[in-house]
Homo-oligomer: A and B are copies of this chain.
Amino acid sequence: MTQSPWQPISPPKPPRPAKAPLTRERIVDAAMRLLVDHGYDAVSMRKVAQELGTGQASLYAHVANKSELDQLLVNRAAEQMEFPAEPDPERWQEQLKDCMREMLRVMRANPGVARAAIGQVPLGEQALLSTEKFLAILKAGNLPDQAAAWAVDLIPLYVTAVSFEETVQSASAWTPADLEGYVGRMRSYFEGLPADRFPLTLALAGALTSGSGGDERFEFGISVITAGLASLAEKP
């Protein structure tokens, strides 16, 4: 390669390369940014490419398809989960519930990640490390192998479904006041049902619409699951 004489000193290297090379890492970074800032619907191949200043076709050199990108997002979120170091047979049930709370916390902190996770078996490294953690706690609780194995399937299924439901409902960007209005309308709807065919729905209208906003429903769910699992523990 020849140097032209009127440009005797060419910059040894451009101070910053105009474009950092595209990598899986950078793609997931950009996708995660879009997810957190603008929700799951904003994570399209087009918008991720745009965020990186490239064409959408370029992504396919590093990521097989959208579904793989979704899996990578789930795995990235899993990195944020912090689980207790030492499984304790004395309080495994409380530890199990704490882990489920932690899963939900991280899913809420990355709104929309549940939509990437739902229906997929999480097989990334970080996701598997949380599986390992759950297995340790369940074995500390003396669950039979098969029960522990199926439980680590059931647990993310439940937590992901709860988070998914939340993101669908908050997709309309609800304020707490909106939520209250919605819950009120739903209660009125239940209370207006014909009493002959819906006696219980009508009688329990209050209970059915209670705990829609906060964590009570979720706390109920993880208690039911934990109690159900505990009933399967082997008595030594």
Contacts and interface: CB of A to CB of B under 8 A. Distances in A.
Interface of A: 118-121, 123, 128-129, 131-132, 135-136, 139, 145-154, 157-158, 160-162, 164-165, 167-169, 186, 189, 193, 197-201, 204, 207-208, 210-211, 216-217, 220-221, 223-229, 231-232
Given A128-B201, A200-B136, A211 B120 contact: no
B220 A224 contact: no
A162 B157 contact: yes
B161 A204 contact: no
B232 A119 contact: no
B128 A204 contact: no
Contacts of A164: 118-119
**Copies held by the complex:** 2
A128 to B, nearest CB: 6
B150 A217 contact: yes
Contact of A225 (B131, B160, B197, B228): B228
